[in-house]
């Protein structure tokens, strides 16, 4: 009620002010048109009775005395301009010392010339005061243009401003009284309604999902209150059913999430294992003198990935998290280089500013981070792209070892940049979108960071930082 009262008062006041101002504009418009019509008739009479030839040059002579008489009779300033906008004569005093005489603005002159009725009304505001200027053609008895008549008019809105002020004063007094009444009525009305709802509101505040909720029993309630109580009691029954279903759903959802995570962790080692086997099959040569060493390297790589899957399966079977960190002192440069050997792409380039950067990390998890980032970099480059490049760089910065993986692929769109590390988010047709989320978790477990910089159609660079804890 208070809101409606306030809105109504504001709207009525706004409409009233608009109406007052509209009436003022219409009054001044009509008044200027009446003045213009009367002055034009008077001027035409002077032109018809003059003894001077009707030419533009004779206008100052014809109205030498008459212009002041016309200005006094009609209480208006009168100006005559020639057809090029130059002042001929004016009822306003002009000093001879003035070098620049008033002229019609060229743009205004073009509008007058191009209008059908050879008439134009110009508006201007100076110091919050509105001025109107009427321009019209004077014609001789043969309807040939002689000059341009200009009638400047100042809008005096003092009367209407006073009317608006008086109206708003009376209006505010009436609506202040109405507002007071609405406040009192609203208070008693809301008190009456909320009194009946107090018991229900207390019960609703006590309602919780993880406990048994009591139903409301009120015997002398109104029809509306009884309907509300019945709805609440039905909600309590449904809430108990929903709590049971929700608990079961949460357990099932937890199993599904764990299954997805385990499947993703098992899938990660399968890719390098497949690449290793394919590489071994393609490069196998019985006569190679280093065949024994190569076979040993391939076997170690496969066994290492099998150990990773075994650790994941063991952790899942014990309802634990992903494989626990087995920190050991590693040469990060050598481990990263070894992790890249499973990839067959010849455009992968590795560089390190130092041959040895020692840190305490989990070998398996470090390899997982590198494998995932490089695989994402490869997949980010379109198949049809000719010049493919993936740069992997390892360097030391302060007390941190940094690993940069940069590609020249299609980049990450602006709308996807904030969601890169979200679980289940992926822009690929395959995969569950857990890779970057998992390696981000691995990195943060070491108090490290992972960031990226990307530019569409140029490429993306991921930067991983691990603290060096010897």
Q: Domains in the chain and their CATH numbers?
A: 2-93+100-161 (3.30.450.20), 325-467 (3.30.565.10)
| Residue 44 CA: distances (Å) to CA of 39, 62, 140, 141, 364 | 9, 12, 8, 9, 106
Highest mean pLDDT range out of 100-114, 212-226, 343-357? 343-357
pLDDT at 434: 60
- In this prediction, residue 97 has a pLDDT band, given cuts at 50, 70 and 90, of very low
Provide, rounded to the nearest whole percent, the portion of the chain with pLDDT above 70: 85
Lowest-confidence region among 214-218, 384-388, 466-470: 214-218
Average pLDDT over residues 332-350: 91
- In this prediction, residue 370 has a pLDDT band, given cuts at 50, 70 and 90, of very high
Q: Flag whether pLDDT at 102 surpasses 80.
A: no
Lowest-confidence region among 243-252, 343-352, 384-393: 243-252
pLDDT at 313: 66
Lowest-confidence region among 52-56, 357-361, 420-424: 420-424
pLDDT at 95: 47
Q: Flag whether pLDDT at 5 surpasses 90.
A: no
pLDDT at 320: 41
- In this prediction, residue 401 has a pLDDT band, given cuts at 50, 70 and 90, of very high
pLDDT at 470: 60
The CA distance from 223 to 200, in Å, is 14
pLDDT tens digits, one per residue of 140-184: 878 888 888 888 887 776 777 787 888 888 888 888 888 888 888
Q: Flag whether pLDDT at 210 surpasses 80.
A: no
How does the average pLDDT of the chain come out, rounded? 80
pLDDT tens digits, one per residue of 425-456: 566 644 445 678 888 888 888 889 999 999 98
pLDDT at 393: 95
pLDDT at 100: 60
pLDDT at 143: 82
pLDDT at 334: 93
Which has the higher per-residue pLDDT, 166 or 396?
Answer: 396
pLDDT at 254: 61
Average pLDDT over residues 184-208: 75
pLDDT tens digits, one per residue of 65-85: 888 888 888 888 888 898 888
Which has the higher per-residue pLDDT, 462 or 293?
Answer: 462
All residues at 6 or more sequence positions from 336 whose CB lies less than 8 Å from its CB, including other chains: 350, 352, 366, 370, 392, 394, 403
The CA distance from 49 to 166, in Å, is 51
pLDDT tens digits, one per residue of 229-276: 788 788 878 877 777 777 667 666 766 776 676 677 677 777 777 777
**Beta strand 327-331 pairing with 358-362:** antiparallel
pLDDT at 461: 94
pTM tops 0.75, yes or no: no
All residues at 6 or more sequence positions from 154 whose CB lies less than 8 Å from its CB, including other chains: 129, 130, 131
pLDDT at 349: 93
- In this prediction, residue 209 has a pLDDT band, given cuts at 50, 70 and 90, of low
Average pLDDT over residues 203-232: 72
- In this prediction, residue 321 has a pLDDT band, given cuts at 50, 70 and 90, of very low
């Amino acid at each position: 009620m208070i809101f409606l009262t306030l809105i109504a008062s504001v709207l009525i006041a706004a409409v009233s002010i608009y109406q007052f101002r509209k009436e003022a504009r219409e009054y001044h418009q009509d008044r200027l048109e009446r003045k213009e019509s009367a002055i034009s008739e008077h001027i035409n009479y002077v032109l018809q009775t003059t003894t001077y030839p009707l030419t533009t040059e004779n206008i100052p002579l014809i109205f030498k005395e008459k212009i002041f008489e016309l200005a006094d009779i009609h209480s208006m300033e009168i100006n005559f301009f020639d057809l090029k906008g130059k002042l001929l004569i004016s009822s306003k005093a002009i000093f001879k010392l003035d070098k620049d005489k008033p002229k019609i603005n060229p743009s205004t002159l073009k509008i007058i010339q191009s209008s059908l009725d050879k008439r134009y009304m110009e508006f201007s505001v100076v110091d919050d005061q509105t001025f109107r200027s009427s321009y019209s053609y004077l014609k001789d008895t043969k309807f040939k243009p002689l000059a341009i008549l200009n009638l400047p008019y100042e809008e005096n809105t003092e009367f209407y401003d006073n009317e608006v002020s008086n109206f708003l004063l009376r209006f505010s007094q009436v609506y202040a009284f109405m507002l007071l009444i609405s406040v009192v009525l609203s208070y008693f009305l809301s008190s009456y309604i909320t009194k009946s709802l107090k018991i229900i509101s207390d019960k609703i505040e006590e309602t919780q999902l993880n406990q048994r909720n009591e139903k409301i029993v009120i015997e002398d309630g109104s029809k509306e209150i009884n309907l509300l109580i019945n709805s609440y009691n039905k909600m309590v029954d449904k809430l108990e059913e929903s709590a049971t279903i929700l608990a079961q759903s949460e357990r099932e959802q937890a199993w599904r999430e764990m299954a997805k995570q385990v499947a993703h962790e098992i899938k990660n080692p399968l890719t390098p294992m497949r690449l290793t086997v394919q590489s071994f099959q393609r490069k196998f040569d019985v006569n190679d003198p280093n065949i024994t060493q190569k076979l040993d390297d391939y076997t170690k790589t496969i066994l290492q990935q099998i150990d990773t899957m075994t650790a994941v399966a063991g952790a899942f079977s014990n309802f634990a998290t992903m494989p626990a960190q087995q920190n050991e002192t590693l040469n990060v440069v050598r481990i990263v280089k070894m992790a890249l050997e499973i990839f067959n792409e010849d455009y992968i380039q590795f560089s390190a500013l130092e041959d040895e950067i020692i840190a305490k990390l989990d070998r398996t998890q470090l390899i997982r981070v590198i494998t995932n980032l490089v695989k994402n970099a490869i997949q980010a480059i379109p198949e049809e792209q000719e010049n493919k490049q993936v740069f992997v760089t390892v360097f030391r910065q302060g007390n941190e070892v940094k690993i940069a993986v940069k590609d020249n692929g299609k980049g990450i769109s602006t709308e996807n940049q904030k969601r890169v590390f979200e679980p289940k988010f992926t822009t690929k047709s395959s995969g569950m979108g857990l890779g970057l989320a998992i390696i981000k978790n691995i990195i943060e477990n070491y108090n490290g960071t992972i960031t990226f910089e990307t530019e569409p159609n140029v490429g993306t660079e991921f930067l991983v930082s691990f603290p060096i804890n010897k």
